[in-house]
Amino acid sequence: MHAIVHERLGLAGEVLEFRVVPEPGPPAEGEALVRVTFTPIHPGDLLAVEGSPAFGDLVSLANGARIPGFEGVGIVEALGSAVVTGSQVNVGDRVAFFPVSGAWSERVVAPMTSLVRLPDDVTDEQAAQMLINTITARLVLSTGHNALPPERKTSVTVIQTGASSAVGQLLTALLVANDVATIRLVRSEASASALAKRMPGPPIVSTENADWKDVLQREIDGRPIFTVFDGVGGVHLSEVASFLIEGGTIVNYGSLGGTGTDIRGIAPRSLVLRGVSIGEWKNDPPEQRRADMDTALGLVQNRPELFDDVARFEAADIAAAVAKMNLPGKSGAVLLSF
């Protein structure tokens, strides 16, 4: 079978190759063999390939070639011996999967607990990108909620950075569904008007404009801001954090803006900087994980527009797919087809 592999850490455009690799072994008890149709490229996948600290621990290349990717969609081809027909997933079912290491392959062996059976009204392209981003948005939301002191858990107003990203939009959808007022920051006027069309609703402020802080202050309109949901980091974070009330929390889940965050304002104002990683999700109870998968499926079915901006590439064309990921102003999901 074919897969995307890398044998060393480095820029994805330089180290990723499409090549023949051995088929995975047969599924064991509690596992399924899935013929993959689409798998997304996430910014985090590229960070892992690069060996960036923004991914976390370095991925292991000890076994030679590593296959990236953790999420995708496909058809169940076989079940482990102890799994009988009539269980939640059967041979021939279309499924989304996460987490499964080595997802950028023609076939993967996935734990049954990582599978979501797909109804007919959900397309492969939507399903391929529904789990990681939605689950991240839910984790980010819960983290922010848990950080609120009891007296601040109602009439909440928050600031979001990187609001035009996929996770940013899903977070907005969850915030609005939970009656939280959010003010969305994006990096350019072009992004602001595109986002306003795609997802009308909460106010959007472009940090491109010299007066963005005045505009943000007007949008805040005297309400206390206890939480910033931040997917950007970088040089602007300290400025955004200055809008928090004393003791407030920055919930950071990404580094779209790169390095250079000045933390000197954190201590004097007793702010809390809290990171969130989807890697934590495996520690959640099975019922919570299944509820999160159901939430993802429900969002695709009820808000399909959040999953419909897609660019498809043949897996063999991995270089073009990576180039698309790195394009300034790139929007929507980049999917590899196998």
Kindly list the residues in this chain that would bind ligand NAP in the complex (CB under 6 A): 42-44, 132-133, 136, 162, 164-167, 186-188, 191, 231-232, 234, 253-257, 276-278, 329-331
CA distance 320 to 41: 12
315, amino acid identity: A
Q: Helix 131-147 crosses helix 286-302 at what angle (to 10 degrees)?
A: 110
By beta-carbon proximity to ligand NAP, the closer residue of 39 and 191 is 191
The CB-of-157 to ligand NAP minimum distance in angstroms stands at 20
CA distance 130 to 303: 11
Give the nearest residue (CB) to ligand NAP. 254
By beta-carbon proximity to ligand NAP, the closer residue of 129 and 157 is 129
The CB-of-47 to ligand NAP minimum distance in angstroms stands at 6
The CB-of-27 to ligand NAP minimum distance in angstroms stands at 27
The CB-of-30 to ligand NAP minimum distance in angstroms stands at 25
CA distances from residue 173 to 23, 94, 168, 192 in whole angstroms, order as listed: 39, 26, 9, 16
The CB-of-194 to ligand NAP minimum distance in angstroms stands at 6
By beta-carbon proximity to ligand NAP, the closer residue of 2 and 274 is 274
The CB-of-254 to ligand NAP minimum distance in angstroms stands at 2
The CB-of-55 to ligand NAP minimum distance in angstroms stands at 8
By beta-carbon proximity to ligand NAP, the closer residue of 123 and 331 is 331
CA distance 214 to 206: 11
Q: Under a CB-based contact definition with an 8 Å cutoff, are residues 116 and 89 in contact?
A: no
The SS3 assignment for 183 reads: strand
The CB-of-270 to ligand NAP minimum distance in angstroms stands at 24
CA distance 120 to 126: 12
By beta-carbon proximity to ligand NAP, the closer residue of 27 and 44 is 44
Contacts of 41 (CB under 8 A, 6+ apart): 69, 321, 322, 325, 334, 335, 336
Where in 53-101 does DSSP place strands (E)?
A: 72-79, 94-97
Helical ranges in 68-123 per DSSP H: none
By beta-carbon proximity to ligand NAP, the closer residue of 37 and 136 is 136
CA distances from residue 276 to 84, 281, 296, 312 in whole angstroms, order as listed: 37, 10, 18, 29
DSSP state of 153: S
By beta-carbon proximity to ligand NAP, the closer residue of 28 and 235 is 235
By beta-carbon proximity to ligand NAP, the closer residue of 24 and 69 is 69
